[in-house]
Each structure stands twice: as structure tokens, then as C-alpha cells.
Chains A and B, each alone.
Chain A
Amino acid sequence: MSDWGADWTKAAFAPNANPSFADLLKNTEPTAMPHAQTPPGPAPQLPQATTILALTFADGVVMAGDRRATEGYQIADRYIVKVFSADFYSAVAIAGAAGPAIDMVRLFQTELEHYEKVEGEVLSLEGKANKLAQMIKQNFPMAMQGLVVVPLFAGFDVRRAAGRIFRYDAVGGRYEDSSYHATGSGGKDARSALRTSWFKGMPKDRAINAAVEALTVASEEDVATGGPDLARGIFPIVATVTAQGYEEISDDSLRPVVAQVIEKIVHTGEGTPT
């Protein structure tokens, strides 16, 4: 590692106009890339991040994820965070191999900030979604070994003044959802729940409620999804992205929502997909 030595300085002062941080990193410090080396053979068993979801509402999007990571039949982490702000107007959530996915998020965040600083302008939401697709594509060799990273990207499109959701497949294919999407091990169950609760232009409190309910339903059906834990105070991460930017909902605000959702599921059987 050369740090501020010749390599970094040479790359920094090179007279090219590429505003991509990932390209800069690849050329100067390739070992720091999230998918630097892919030795042959099957990948070791690693923590897997599970259920994440996003849905649009009147003012933007809600993004949420449970707090569990699993390693085979073991619980690897009870407090993992899978929802991150990508920049002021967008959020990214991760499912799949947790370590490489979190690395990819960190590179993606730096990429967006780097572009913004170098160019003096923020990328369009479309541009950000495409950039993330390229990063997933570069992860393809690792995906082939089982280290699949499938993020969900959502944000507030300033030009359209609306929330938009993008999902990806393991090879970087990009698909836009105008309503909602959920992925990860409990994604199917979460989608079933959202199918009945989502409606166009729903208000913020209903959207947050729907997100918590969908994750809770998924945790009832899928062992790899962690449900809210009132005793330990473990709540899902729920964030909104609107014209006011990215905002995480505090645990204190989520507590009554969670209590209400659990009450509904336990006592009435409503909200379960069966």
C-alpha cells in the first residue's frame, strides 16, 4: 500500500476528467475494491442479509429492512443494518452476501459523493441507478461462486418530483418498480403483504405501517427474517426519501407502529398471507 506515495499522488494529479471514484480506486488501489480477487472454488459460508423492501408513497419512497443476518442455520447478527442513505436524495438496501454487499454500498456512496464534488452537480436518479447496475455487473464472478449481492435502490427524483424504485438481478439487470418491491429470503412473503396494503399515493404513516407489517409477516413465514423484538428493543430500519432528503424513522416512533402490527397479526390473524 503506497498511501500518499507516488501512486496515489500520480493518480490524483493526472490530467484526466473521469469523475468516477471506482475507476480511480481500481487503477491505484485495486486490492481495496469490493470484488478484488475471486479465487476458484466455492465461496466459504458467509453471513447473508435477508429481507428488504421499498414502496412508493405520496411524497416519495419508504425503504425498510429487518435486522437479521444468517449463516446457514445459525443467526450471524441480530442487529445488522441493511438500509443506508446513498446520498441526500436516495437510499440503498442490501440482500445477499452481507460483507461484499456492505462494501459495495460504501463504494457506491463514495462514488456518488465523489461525482458530486468533482462535477459540482448531483447525478440524476437514473444515473445513480445505472451506476449501481454496473457495480453489480462487476460482481458477477463472485455471484457465480454464490456470493450474490442483490440491492434495492430507491430515491426521490427531483426532476419528476416523485419517488422511484429500482431492483436488480444477480448479473446487474435493472428493473424499475412504480409501486413496491421486496427481495431477500422473505421477499416473497413481504411482497404478498404489500400487495394488499399498498395503494397509489398512500400517506406517509400508512406507508411506514405497511413496511413494518410486510417485514413482520415475512418474519412469521421465513426463518432467516428477524421480526421486531420488543423485549430487546430491536426494530427494523425504516427510512423515507422525500423532497426533504433521506430520513431514518427513530425507534421511538416505530415502537407504537410495531406494537400495533403485532397486535393485529397475533389477535386477528389479519395481515398474514395464509
Chain B
Amino acid sequence: MSPMPYYVSPEQLMKDRADYARKGIARGKSILAIECAAGIIFVAENPSSTLHKVSELYDRVAFCAVGKYNEFENLRIAGVRLADMRGYVYGREDVTAKAIANAYAQALGTIFTQEMKPYEVELLVANLGEDHSTDELYHVLYDGSVSDEQGFVAMGGQAEALANTLAQQYEATMNFDDALKAGAQALAAADPSRPLGTQNLEVAVLDRARPRRAFRRLDDADVARVLGG
């Protein structure tokens, strides 16, 4: 006679999964997305210069994520595929961050309830508008819940501390340099025990001044120029 299977209540099962995902995400390094006059700036703590946390999805849509790299890399490629499919079959302006964020929400929601283990990721899909009042930030959690945020978003292990620090300095009309400095300072202040040089920062921007593909990465020299000045 086989042993009786243990009974686990759905509440307990979901709570365990959520705890597991949250712990995984909390171990990862943090990232900030900041809306400002020049565009949407992404500042992340990332010692690798090739394994990115921030990426281009489409002309005015970018993706950033924290957590387990292989998991969010899969999601990033899915986003590029969805964006390019829609842009090719319909038109370039028909590709929206909202639709991509919804697809992520569906996928993560399904994985959270049906797979052995949930994805340990938290991601953001950003849509660059004409000005900061029409920018869109969709924050998608490991269980598929979505929120529409304004101003800035902090994700990762020190999200709360980062958000509190940045809130004191943030203004929607900030220029590019000020927003980048505020982001880098907030990241450094979140954990003063370790030095945070430019080589440990990944910076990218959805630049309002660029004509079609607004996404641009900044190399270490660019970042040093802004932070040093």
C-alpha cells in the first residue's frame, strides 16, 4: 500500500512559492528606472559588461529585469519576438509596452501556478512617450501581477531602500545628468559597505532625442563623464 499523499492547502502552496520567488529576487542586485525630461534612464548594479539587465525590445520600448539571469533572458527574447512579430504583421507604431507587459503577466502567472517552481524574476517594460507625462512603466512581478507605475521604479534586493532614497531627490523635470547621478547615488547609498565604481554600473536610456530606435547604452567612459562632472 502506497503512503497517503500529504495534503497542502492552496494558501500554503502559494505562500511557499511566493516566499521562494521573493527570496531569489532579494539575493539579486538592484536596478532603477527613472523617467526624466531626456527620456527614461536605467541604472543597474551589474559587474558584467556583456550579460545585460537592461535591453531594447522595440523602437521606444525597453525591458529590464532582476533575479535569475537565465529566466529573465528567456522572457526578454520572448518580448523581442512578440514586438517584432506585431511590428512586421501590423505596423511599427502598433507595438506597445502594455501588450508586451500583458503577455509577460500571462506567462509568469501560468508558470507561477502550474510549474514545479516559480520564476525568480521581477521585470519592467518601459514605453517612451512624447514627454515624461506620457511615459509608461509596467512593473510585472514573479506571480504575473502587473502595476502601472509613474516617476521611477526600483527593483531587486534593496528596492525599498532605493525607492526611499531616490524619492527625496526625484523630480520629473530632471535632466539626463541629474537623473543618472541621483540613480547612481541611490544605488551606492543602499549598501555603503561596498564601493560602486562605474565598471559595476550598467546604464542605458530610452532617449527622447533619438529618431526611431530610442534605446542607447552608455559605456563606462560615458558614465564616468557624467558622474565625475
Which of the residues B80, B88, B102, B103 comes within 8 Å of A107, measured between beta carbons?
Answer: B88
Interface check A158, CB cutoff 8 A: no
Interface check A29, CB cutoff 8 A: yes
A1 to B81, CA, bound (A): 16
Chain B nearest CB from A62 CB (Å) reads 22
Chain A nearest CB from B51 CB (Å) reads 9
| B99:A24 contact, CB within 8 angstroms | no
| B52:A15 contact, CB within 8 angstroms | no
Q: Given contacts A4-B103, A21-B88, A29-B89, are A12 and B55 in contact (CB under 8 A)? A: no
Q: Given contacts A12-B81, A110-B84, are A32 and B89 in contact (CB under 8 A)? A: yes
Q: Given contacts A24-B81, A117-B55, A118-B80, are A110 and B106 in contact (CB under 8 A)? A: no
Q: Given contacts A4-B99, A29-B85, A110-B88, are A117 and B107 in contact (CB under 8 A)? A: no
How many of chain A's residues have a CB under 8 angstroms from any CB in B? 23
Interface check A73, CB cutoff 8 A: no
Given the complex, which residues of B lie within 8 Å of A107, measured CB to CB? 88
Interface check A196, CB cutoff 8 A: no
| B85:A106 contact, CB within 8 angstroms | no
> Which A1-50 residues have a C-beta within 8 angstroms of B?
1, 3-4, 8-9, 11-13, 15, 21, 24-25, 28-29, 32
- Encoded as 1 (CB less than 8 Å from any A CB) or 0, chain B from 64 to 104 comes to 00000000001101111110111111000000000100110
Interface check B57, CB cutoff 8 A: yes
Which of the residues B77, B78, B88, B99 comes within 8 Å of A25, measured between beta carbons?
Answer: B88
Which of the residues A1, A9, A15, A113 comes within 8 Å of B103, measured between beta carbons?
Answer: A9
Chain B nearest CB from A32 CB (Å) reads 5
A13 to B110, CA, bound (A): 12
A-B contact pairs, 18 of them (CB 8 A): A4-B86, A8-B85, A9-B103, A12-B81, A13-B74, A15-B74, A21-B88, A25-B85, A28-B85, A29-B89, A110-B84, A110-B87, A110-B88, A114-B84, A117-B55, A117-B80, A117-B84, A118-B81
Q: Which residues of B contact A (CB under 8 A)?
A: 50, 52, 55-57, 74-75, 77-82, 84-89, 99, 102-103, 106-107
- Given A11-B81, A12-B82, A110-B84, 12 more pairs with CB closer than 8 A: A4-B99, A8-B85, A13-B78, A21-B88, A24-B84, A24-B85, A25-B88, A110-B87, A117-B55, A117-B57, A118-B81, A120-B52
